[in-house]
Amino acid sequence: MEGVKNMKTALVLGAGGFIGSHMVRRLKSEGCWVRGADLKYPDFSISFADHFVIADLSVYENVESIIDPMGIAAFDEIYQFAADMGGAGYIFTGLNDSQIMENSALINLNLLRAQSRLNAKYDINKTKIFYSSSACIYPDYKQLDVDNPGLKESDAYPADPDSEYGWEKLFSERMFLAFNRNNKIPVAIARYHNIYGPEGTWDGGKEKAPAAMCRKVIQAEDSIEIWGDGEQTRSFLYIDECIEATRRLMESGFTGPVNIGSEEMVTINQLAEIINKYANKNLSLEHIAGPLGVRGRNSDNNLINSKLGWAPNESLSDGILRTYDWIAEQVKNSNK
Ligand code: NAD
């Protein structure tokens, strides 16, 4: 790590994943020295990190050694993206609940414990930690109507997330805030709302609606299957916008939790039609039973707008066409 002393340093946990690998790229473009850590390297590109550690972050000793950069005392910033993650097909079936809760809670706990001990060891407190929470923390009873007016941050309580994934995220938000209060660790917390774009998972069962729908349209001849009646609503945020908002949050003095999402709400049927139209196909929509999640979800961006002056620039259809082109390339190369 010679020559690093005068550079900003960052650690990205989950750097082999979708958002983490994009964040590494962004931090490198800003001139940071970056260490990435994950169970795996990124699936769709090389990592741009200066140093990449393959490790299981649910094991405390691994986190302890990864967060100690040796020679520069501590990282300036840590981005915590590592978690068990997926679309409705992974999160809402109930089959993966214990794995999701155990793995993600251990990673978050290990990070906060290790950072507290590192700070005590060197008698410093300079590392700011970003935590990626989720719109899945919002209570089911605020999302029963397809015409969701937008979830405000204060809607989180009284809590009643509709999945164990959401409960773990809410617990971990509180844990980051507790270490901020009692151990004075600077933190920033965002609640992401459906991030999508190139280099996101597009098949295998963990993909989310935009990627799944692009893949189905690309592969279909006559019709595509949609879970439920397709009238459930969501908003989707393009990856570059997510990275920009996250960097702005980290540069600000605002802790959050704050929504990072889009307010352009669509039904799943409308999402399918946008993709159908772009692909120039006339596929019919076949509605089948499947895991659904909440009935209506949208982001309310008033808080982030007032604190950071941020709002997304890009329309859903613009982001979808770039994602579609990328997935079409993946499908072609994989012969699926
Ligand atoms: P992702 O699955 O692509 O990335 C998560 C990464 O964490 C994966 O590469 C995985 O290998 C790694 N990981 C999991 N367990 C690990 C362990 N024990 N040790 C080391 N690495 C481990 O997911 P993503 O879409 O990039 O999401 C990043 C974060 O943002 C996650 O915490 C997710 O819950 C949160 N989030 C994402 C979205 C979204 O729409 N993508 C929405 C809300 C919140």
Catalytic residue among 165, 196, 238, 324: 165
CB distance 210 to ligand 1 below 6 Å: no
Dist. CA 137–CA 162, nearest whole Å: 8
Task: Give the distance from CA 178 to its chain's centroid.
Answer: 22
With residue 284 as reference, give the H or E element that holds it. strand 284-288
Q: What is the pLDDT along the chain (336 residues), one digit of tens a residue?
A: 556 777 999 999 999 999 999 999 999 999 999 999 999 999 999 999 999 999 999 999 999 999 987 666 799 999 999 999 877 778 888 899 999 999 999 999 999 999 999 999 999 999 999 999 999 999 999 999 999 999 999 999 999 999 999 999 999 999 999 999 999 999 999 999 999 999 999 999 889 899 999 999 999 989 999 999 999 999 999 999 999 999 999 999 999 999 999 999 999 999 999 999 999 998 999 999 988 889 999 999 999 999 999 999 999 999 999 999 999 999 999 976
> Per the structure block, which two tokens stand in for 191?
């609640």
Best residue among 81, 84, 137, 173 to mutate for probing ligand 1, ranked by most atoms within 8 Å of CB: 81
Atom of ligand 1 nearest to the CA of 192: 43
Is the distance from CB of 319 to CB of 197 less than 8 angstroms? yes
**pLDDT at 26 (0 to 100):** 98
H helices of 220-263, in order, are 239-251
Burial zone of 273 (CB within 10 Å; 0-12 exposed, 13-18 middle, 19+ buried)? middle
**pLDDT at 96 (0 to 100):** 93
| pTM for the predicted model, two decimal places | 0.97
Best residue among 19, 207, 294 to mutate for probing ligand 1, ranked by most atoms within 8 Å of CB: 19
**pLDDT at 299 (0 to 100):** 98
238 included as an active-site residue: no
Using the mean position of ligand 1's atoms as its centre, give its distance from the Cα of residue 255 in Å.
21
**pLDDT at 290 (0 to 100):** 85
Atom of ligand 1 nearest to the CA of 57: 19
Which residues lie closer than 8 Å to 27 by C-beta, 6 or more apart?
A: 10, 12, 34
> Per the structure block, which two tokens stand in for 71?
């020679």
Q: pLDDT (tens digit, 9 = 90+) per residue, 162-209?
A: 999 999 999 999 999 999 999 999 999 999 999 999 999 999 988 989
Dist. CA 9–CA 279, nearest whole Å: 42
Cα angle, residue 280 at apex, residues 276 and 281 outer, rounded to 5°: 60
Sheet arrangement for strand 128-134: 51-54, 33-38, 9-13, 77-80, 128-134, 187-192, 258-260
**pLDDT at 70 (0 to 100):** 67
Minimal-distance CA residue to ligand 1 atom 44: 134
CB distance 194 to ligand 1 below 6 Å: yes
CB distance 23 to ligand 1 below 6 Å: no
Q: Is the bond leading into 161 cis (omega within 30 degrees of zero)?
A: no
Dist. CA 262–CA 194, nearest whole Å: 9
- CA torsion through residues 219, 220, 226, 230, sign: positive
- In the block, tokens 């405390």 appear at 60
Is the distance from CB of 152 to CB of 107 less than 8 angstroms? no
Is the distance from CB of 79 to CB of 130 less than 8 angstroms? yes
First CA to last CA distance, the chain: 43
What does DSSP say about strands 284-288 and 223-227: parallel, antiparallel, or unpaired?
parallel
DSSP secondary-structure letter at 137?
G
Q: pLDDT (tens digit, 9 = 90+) per residue, 28-77?
A: 999 999 999 999 999 999 999 999 999 999 999 999 999 987 666 799 99
Best residue among 85, 164, 169 to mutate for probing ligand 1, ranked by most atoms within 8 Å of CB: 85
The 3-state DSSP composition of the chain as helix, strand, coil percent (nearest 5) reads: 40, 15, 40
CB distance 192 to ligand 1 below 6 Å: yes
Using the mean position of ligand 1's atoms as its centre, give its distance from the Cα of residue 15 in Å.
9
